Structure 1
Amino acid sequence: MPASPIAVPQAGAYMLNTLRKGARGWVAKLLLVLLVAAFGAWGISGSMFSGTGSAVVSVGETIVTPNEYRLAYNRQMATLGRQLNTQLTSEQARAFGVPERTFGAVIAGAALDEEARKMNLGLSDERLARLVADDPTFHDFNGRFDRNNFARILSSVGMSEADYIASRSKVAVRSQIVEAVADGLDAPDALLTALAQYQAESRDVAYILLTPDALDPVAEPTNAEISAFYDAQKSRYVAPEYRKITYLKLEPEDITDPEAIAEDAVRADYEANKDRYTTAETRTVDQLVFSDREAAESAAERLASGASFDTSAEEQGRSPSDLRIGSFSQEDAPSDAIGEAAFAVSAAGGTTGVVDGPFGPVILRVAAINPASVKSFEEMEAELRRQMALAEAYDQVLNVHDSIEDALAGGSSLGEAATSQRLDLVTVEAIDRTGRDPDGTVRSDLPVSRDLLQGAFEAEVGVELPPLAIGSDGFVWYQVEAVTEERQRPLDEVRETVIADWKSEQMAEALGARATELAERLKEGDSLEEIAGELGLAVEQKYALQRDGQGPVFGEAAVQAAFGGPAGHAGVASDASGANRIIFQVTAVNDASDASAEALSEAERSNFSSRIADDILDQLVADLRTRYGVEVNRTLAERAISY
């Protein structure tokens, strides 16, 4: 495929827009696997389609090479790792089913590719060029395709232009099948009406909340019970791998030197920006509103003759709180006329004549005057020094960065580089992959903690690592000083924790058993009030509980249980915290037979239609797999991901 089409002028790419709109379900999303994976930070080298000559997956005559499978696998690993905020190991990936999810994705993609081949689907060079040009990844600051940006990004991930264009073409061709099958599909109104009625149905529930306080305390376990519990739950008491890390952080705040700013410069800045430190005069204003100007003029005459403003308000049936319109500067007044009139009053307590307000004639009273104020130079000096020093530091960050890099390149240690720049070298004595200290405390002070921890747990001890960026104006250099391997904590070390866990489990079992016993009594005809009275508890009411009505007491499990039967239905469920049990009875079912499809929001309609489209695409892929046959080489797949 020639690279020249990418020079086509920018234009609306219909196919790309359709592809984006269609990428809502899992089948549509997997169409982008190869393309998106190519831009993952997984150390890609060489051609994306360089393969080994054998296929990990074959669907008809379409194959998935080991390299393509590896990229798809890495993308699944990265996605799941982001969700769990950790770097997955191979064993964890298998436990979470990553290999099977990857096979599902690549097989579905290959099935669609084979169908496209059978249908002789293709893409013109012009359309392909417009798709590439419309990709915002390659745009400049003006939103236009940048040829140099295109080449730079592809080069940074080790991908040739020909490979990228071939990948983009494959994705676009797949999308033709997707849009033909599911694009523009709208759920029928009858189905949406049923959904609206289902969602709107509510229930009234009476319940009692059974807490551990209602039971006798759990007795102390014997040594035999402690040992047995520890042996059965050993994996809970494994100390994770810890690493000792040192790091050097460079941000503008780290190199600010307020004392280096000359007083003359600080004073000059203060004088130049004095308006910023001036608070304008504000006035607290009350108003009387009149229906017509004649009534307002009459009231103004009475006020001028000595009548009370409050008396006039009482005649209108208004309390003092009804009069207050607020405190404001002249600039922020509700209207220019009100501002001019209120600020023309000479003293607090004075009133104005009749003013044309936004909603009719009014008379104003200035209840209080808050004079303007100016913060002195002495009050502002420390803050101004800090701000000016910080501005200078922003200009110096890159120079300091280069000095640190030069020092490290010249053989200096990280500590020596820190000392030369008068920066602090921070040592974290022990931290695990999740950012916790050995005592379980999460470290909240690590810069770019996610990236730093990921890099540290992939690095060898003492190896110089590239710095990480902190936003657009900072950097952090780091290295691993020591590794403490994962180990099984002996019982003596975790004995108190084991006892607490055993007691907690025993209490949960006892609480569940007692709640189940009480719920059975309720089902057999005892009243909730009778049971509550025996326990010294109050019967609570939850009215109009809906299927999405989770709260502090009724969590998802309890809501599902309450909707598990008709009126009179009784049962037991954990509360939202999981620590207590809810013994409940449905006292009323409030149907929503009058709800219609119009009750659903546009987002809900769109989401439901999207889910139907996904189901149709799932059925299509299943049919294609059966029609063309699927062959999987799991041995080759294992080799592909072990590189």
Structure 2
Amino acid sequence: MLALMKSLMNSIFGKFVVMIIIAGMAFWGADQAWTSMNTGLGNDLAAAGPRGIDMTTLDRRVENLLRNINANAEKPITKSEAVDQGIVDQVFQLETSKIVNLGYASTIGIKPSTDAVVEQLKTVDAFKNPLTGELDLNTYREVLYQNRFTKDEYEQQVADDLILKTLGDAATAAIYPPQILASIQALYIGETRDVSWFILDATKAPTPDAPTDEDIRAFYDENLAALEQPERRAIDLLRMSADDFLSNVTVTEQEIATIYEATKSERFSEPDQRTFIELYFADRDTARAAFGQLAGGADPATLSGVLSSETRTGNKESVADTALQDAMFGPGKQSGALFGPRESNGKWLVARLVSVQPGAVYPIETVSDVIRDELMRERAQVHFYENLDALDRSIGAGYPLSQIASELGVPIISFAPVDETGTTKDGVNMTGLVAARDAFSDAFRVNAGEVSSRYDGDDAVYLTSPRTIIAPSTPDFDTVKDDIRQTLVAQRAANAMQAYSDSVIEKVKSGDPTLAGAASAAGANVESPTLPVTRITAEQSGLPTSAISAIFAGRDGDVFSYPNRTGDKFMIVQLNKIMPPSDAALEMLGTQATSSLNQALRDDLQFAAEAEIRNAMKLKVNDNGLAAYKKSVATDQ
């Protein structure tokens, strides 16, 4: 498309066409603006008080969610599918709930301080310098860039999270359920289900009739749409990462030696040993006076009011108290560092670091490869960022993928034809191609030879270009006749095994035979859990999750069946008896019942508070704008 626009601008007629296109775009934009003005929401899809959410922000939230879902999914979900499955609506509802609460917080003046936001940033390991363990601004900026966040956007999100937590904590503070509810809850969670089961071998079911040629032909005629092969595209992929520029990097032995000398005591040595003295005092004032004297250089042996003292030597892991550990072993701590005063078992502790004994340093020969690899990757990352600009210029110029790859010195990976899920005709999923995500999806929106938009992954950027496009087609009957026969055979066998299981269940429900009799007739043994099955112990019972749900919703004598993955064996489960907990069990369950009730009450109170806030804030929603967004997503896909 970019190449076409560029060529059009080289002629008078072409310029006229481009002017018409631009005018049409302007008209569409004006129409959208008019629609937005009519809602009183401006560019926002929803607003409550001073807070709102626009189309760009919603799109980002949807993309972030899909990125997380698709990270471990066998089949990635596209935005279009997210619309169809209601995921976009769920994200929008969640975001409107947030802006209602944030809008309310703004109207009553709740706002976190800059210090509170900074303290929250300090807790994120990804932002810390690996040497000092402290918040590192350069690392912070790089991580935000990699995740396509600006500093202001991310810090606003952190501030919003702190506000929401404050509102939630305020709504659910000091919750204590009445004892009568705790007693009822204890009865509920302590109730025992007596269950037993056996495994039914469903392959013993009567063999169904084999499908005839007429059956196969009828199936083919009735399922032409399902048998149609989808459009497939042979796709070329350009994946550019820092690894592509490792060969351009040189690291000298002198550079390795310099870094080794500068960091060997912190990074390339055994853990150091530290000696520190712990002093205990009877009260806080005495401990504070001693702390002041120690800070002034006093000898611990000269202090008054010391109840006891202990000199300890060890490594960081030998100190269980994390606060004391940080004071004695934290980055930059030197002899004379102090800790306390702090109450400990009725006494007041003050500690002083006496000496630091460095650990043995590893020889440079054993760590040079580690340093070299780090330096090479650091410098390759710089080359990578420098080449991003060149990549964008090539995309903007409308160059074909082969030319872009040649100018960057990055190889192209060619894939066999796949459908929109990344699966070949033989059922092989091309995970390397699917990893390109939006760039992969774009390959099904552009013509052969055109280049997709750039997609930025966690550690690489992607471009795709379809080589060839194979149109959808329905195979001839003779081609798929044998496959259909196998499908029908498997289908009828599965139906027969399910019917066999159903017949056993109906007989057990009638009491003729009993579960034990049915198991004996099937050549199986009856089994029971080793522990009583309660709502607390159910997960350790060996029962499937679906069976656990059923037996706690069932009644005495109910029978259920659960097939295995292949459908050739069924677990036949019977709920024999429901028994209330004993008095001793109820006494033991009291604390747990109170705890679970606390959480339930907190959830209810939070829900009620949010409902009141929503009524007070009068949420405004641009339904037309949301529909337009979903329509644009479906069209793009």
Which of 499, 510, 514 in structure 2 is aligned with 1:524?
Answer: 510
Do the aligned residues in 1 keep the contact of 2:195 with 2:529 (CA within 8 Å)? yes
Say whether residues 1:75 and 2:64 are aligned partners: yes
Q: Which residue of structure 2 lines up, in the alignment, with residue 210 of structure 1?
A: 200
Q: Could you say which residue in structure 1 is the equivalent of 2:415?
A: 428
Q: Is the 8 A contact 1:189 1:597 kept in 2?
A: no
Alpha-carbon shift at residue 536 of structure 1 (Å) = 5.5
Contact 1:243 1:484 in 2 (8 A): yes
Aligned to 1:482: 468
Structure 1 residue 107 corresponds to structure 2 residue 93: no
Structure 1 residue 97: deviation in Å? Answer: 0.5
The aligned amino acid for 1:437 is: T
Change (3 A) 1:467 1:570: closer
Q: 1:97 aligns with which of 64, 78, 86?
A: 86
On the 8 A contact 2:201/2:522 being kept in 1, the answer is no
Most deviating of 248-257 and 118-127? 248-257
- Is 1:512 paired with 2:501? no
Per the alignment, residue 303 of structure 1 pairs with none
Letter in 1 for 2:468: A
Who is 1:629 aligned against? 618
| Residues 166-210 of structure 1, C-alpha deviations (whole Å, 9 max, x = no match) | 554444333321221236868889877876776666555444433
CA distance in 1, matches of 2:614, 2:421: 40
- Structure 2 spans left out of the alignment, 5+ residues: 1-39, 248-379, 631-635
Cα 1:146–1:52 shift into 2, 3 Å? farther
Aligned-residue offset at 1:108:
0.5
Aligned to 1:437: 424
Please point out which of 559, 567, 579 is paired with 1:570: 559
Greater CA drift, 200-209 or 185-194: 185-194
For the pair 1:140 / 2:99, whether they are aligned, the reply is no
CA distance 1:159–1:568, change in 2 (3 Å): closer
Structure-1 separation of matches of 2:159 and 2:404 = 49
Map residues 548-563 of structure 1 onto 2, 5 A cutoff: 554-563=543-552
From 151, 163, 166, the counterpart of 1:173 = 163
Q: How many angstroms apart in 1 are the aligned matches of 2:149 and 2:456?
A: 24
| AA aligned opposite 2:200 | L
- Secondary structure (helix, strand or coil) at the match of 1:121 reads coil
1:553–1:576: 8 Å Cα contact kept in structure 2?
A: no
CA distance in 2, matches of 1:148, 1:255: 22
**For 1:443-495, what per-residue CA distance to the aligned partner results, in whole angstroms no more than 9, with x for missing partners?**
578796879856766776445679999998x9998754233355555655444
Question: Quick one: distance in 2 between partners of 1:178 and 1:192?
Answer: 23
Aligned-pair CA distance for 1:159: 6.0
Aligned CA-pair RMSD: 5.7
Letter matched to residue 173 of structure 1: I
Instruction: Note the 1:157-306 alignment, pairs <5 A.
Output: 161-162=151-152, 164-182=154-172, 203-222=193-212, 225-226=215-216, 229=219, 236-246=226-236
Identify unmatched segments of 5+ residues in structure 1: 1-50, 258-392
CA contact (8 A) 1:244 1:482 kept: yes
Q: CA deviation at 1:215?
A: 1.9
CA distance in 2, matches of 1:96, 1:72: 16
1:358-413 deviation digits (Å, cap 9, x = unpaired): xxxxxxxxxxxxxxxxxxxxxxxxxxxxxxxxxxx99x999x99x99999999999
Amino acid across the alignment from 1:119? I
Distance in 2 (alpha carbons) for counterparts of 1:235 and 1:183: 58
- 1:63 and 1:404 map into 2 onto residues whose CA distance is 35
What are the Cα deviations for residues 250-291 of structure 1, in whole angstroms up to 9, with x where unaligned?
Answer: 99999999xxxxxxxxxxxxxxxxxxxxxxxxxxxxxxxxxx
TM normalised by structure 2 equals 0.54
The structural deviation recorded for 1:112 is 0.5
User: CA separation of 1:202/1:254 partners in 2, compared to 1, >3 Å: closer, same or farther?
Assistant: farther
1:176 is aligned with what amino acid?
A: T
Distance 1:405 1:98, change over 3 A: closer
1:559, distance to aligned residue in structure 2 (A): 3.6
Residue 93 of structure 1 deviates from its aligned partner by 1.2
Partners of 2:454 and 2:624 in 1: how far apart?
Answer: 38
Contact 1:208 1:540 in 2 (8 A): yes
1:447-486, aligned counterparts within 5 Å? 461-462=448-449, 480-485=466-471
Tell me which moved more, 618-627 or 177-186. Answer: 177-186
The change in CA–CA distance for 1:200 and 1:463 in structure 2 (over 3 A counts) is farther
Amino acid in the other structure paired with 1:481: R
Residue 42 of structure 2 is aligned to residue 64 of structure 1: no
3-state DSSP class of the match of 1:221?
coil
Q: Give me the whole-angstrom Cα distance separating, in 2, the residues matched to 1:196 and 1:638.
A: 48
Shift of 1:219: 1.4
1: CA distance between counterparts of 2:176 and 2:447? 55
Q: Secondary structure at the match of 1:431?
A: coil
**Does residue 121 of structure 1 match 2:107?**
no
